[in-house]
Structure 1
Amino acid sequence: MRILACLLGLVSALVSNPAMAAEEPSYTLVERDGPIEIRDYAPQIIAEVVVEGDRRQASGRGFRPLAGYIFGDNQPREEIAMTAPVTSTRSGQEIAMTAPVTTEADAEGRWTVAFIMPSEWTMETLPAPMNDDVMLREQPARRIAVYQFSGMMNDARAQRGREALEAYLQEQGLEPLSAPTYASYDPPWIPGPFRRNEVWVEIAAR
């Protein structure tokens, strides 16, 4: 028990240490209702790949080329700081424009997995990917509805978060503009209880 307590204390210190924390995209909190937040995000630059498989398979397949890019698989082989979160979005999923998104992701499909680039970089200064599958894209400012939860990002938790967020949007009369995006903030070695995950849906401002 003492060893477990020490381990948990160490992990907690690592997670909460600002010096060790990855940069996260800046936003303005609009409102909060329990685990749900409405946020206004500033423009971002993202590196993304499109991969096939279910959500879990796609996350792994997408992570590898993106990690390669930031660790030097670029021209001129320059390292880029890791940021959080890593996001995955079902590609080609239909979007209900006047009601919550209710389309279920198929067991197999295409997903867009993305890293958000550190704010110090621009499209002009970012190194060019050497892997043709990695694309750089400017993401304009947007308003995001977010459902937050802890634990491992498994299919059951992801689905519960998506359904809770959809229900909230319907209750509040908020218009979704995107398919759900699943955001994971922590490296694989962080134990489940300390992990931070979110489901995002872009919404129309009102």
Structure 2
Amino acid sequence: MKLIEIPRQTVEGVLSLVGVRVGTEEPHYLSTKVSDRVEIRRYGPRIAAETTVDADEERARNIGFRRLAGYIFGGNHRKESIAMTAPVTQQSGDTIAMTAPVAQARDGERSTIRFYMPSKWTLDTLPEPDNDEVRLTEVPGETVAVLGFTGDRGPRAVQSHTDELLEVLRANGIETTGDAQAWFYDPPWTLPFRRRNEIAVPVRQ
């Protein structure tokens, strides 16, 4: 890594402490407000690296994060380096930066964790993961209702905000078509009141 990148990464790491994200790509979407806290977003197709973990919610998130981080740190067939700071810093060479958010979906006792890939990559150009438990997938375009929140992102907080989102949708006659996901935009060291977290649930278009 070039020496000039060190102070830049230090500054960006400090900024992430207070929830300032520099240079992190987010998937493009169109949005419509439902209430002060809820909006409908329309996303196009995206590419994600994902893994499924059979564990409680927080432990699954940690295990899944490590697996996916292993992939983007070079655990792939081309040994490609992937910038994985928060926010992401592009280094010299052909690198892959993780985008925001990190998504977690729960199905019974299992969680699926996703890192979304930057838009310049396709399934054909991304390196194949070394770990058989990490897979690359194309996420089709979708319409989701989203509620944002800060602070705690443990299981109780996620469930409470999920219930809040579903109640708003029921009150507005909006039909859901799938299970809720938790989306996280900041690293664990970000001050809780500066964290950007979201609950997203697919809805009828």
Range class of TM-score, shorter chain: 0.7 to 0.9
Letter in 2 for 1:86: V
Alignment-derived partner of residue 163 in structure 1: 163
Of 21, 28, 31 in structure 1, the residue corresponding to residue 30 of structure 2 is 28
C-alpha contact (below 8 Å) 1:12/1:194 kept by paired residues: no
Change (3 A) 1:14 1:162: closer
RMSD value, Cα: 1.7
Alignment-derived partner of residue 184 in structure 1: 184
Flag structure 2 segments of 5+ consecutive residues without an equivalent.
1-13, 83-95
Pair 1:16 & 2:20 matched:
yes
Query: 1:175-201 CA deviation, whole Å, 9 max, x = no partner?
Result: 111111001100122111110100010
C-alpha contact (below 8 Å) 1:15/1:21 kept by paired residues: no
Letter in 1 for 2:20: S
Of 21, 46, 51 in structure 2, the residue corresponding to residue 44 of structure 1 is 46
Alignment-derived partner of residue 97 in structure 1: none
- Deviation for aligned residue 1:15: 3.6
- Deviation for aligned residue 1:16: 3.3
Letter in 1 for 2:101: P
* Cα distance in structure 2, aligned partners of 1:50 and 1:193: 29
Query: 1:105-163 CA deviation, whole Å, 9 max, x = no partner?
Result: xxxx1111111111010011011001000011111111010010001312222111100
Letter in 1 for 2:198: E
Letter in 2 for 1:45: I
Flag structure 1 segments of 5+ consecutive residues without an equivalent.
1-9, 94-108
Alignment of 1:39-118 (within 5 A): 39-78=41-80, 79=82, 80-91=96-107, 109-118=109-118
* Cα distance in structure 1, aligned partners of 2:202 and 2:16: 31
Letter in 1 for 2:41: R
> Secondary structure in 2 aligned to 1:23?
coil
TM-score norm. by structure 2 comes to 0.82
TM-score norm. by structure 1 comes to 0.81
Change (3 A) 1:35 1:15: same
What is the percentage of aligned positions where both structures have the same residue?
41
> Secondary structure in 1 aligned to 2:174?
coil
- Deviation for aligned residue 1:13: 8.9
* Cα distance in structure 2, aligned partners of 1:14 and 1:89: 26
- Deviation for aligned residue 1:30: 2.1
* Cα distance in structure 2, aligned partners of 1:35 and 1:169: 11
* Cα distance in structure 2, aligned partners of 1:121 and 1:169: 34
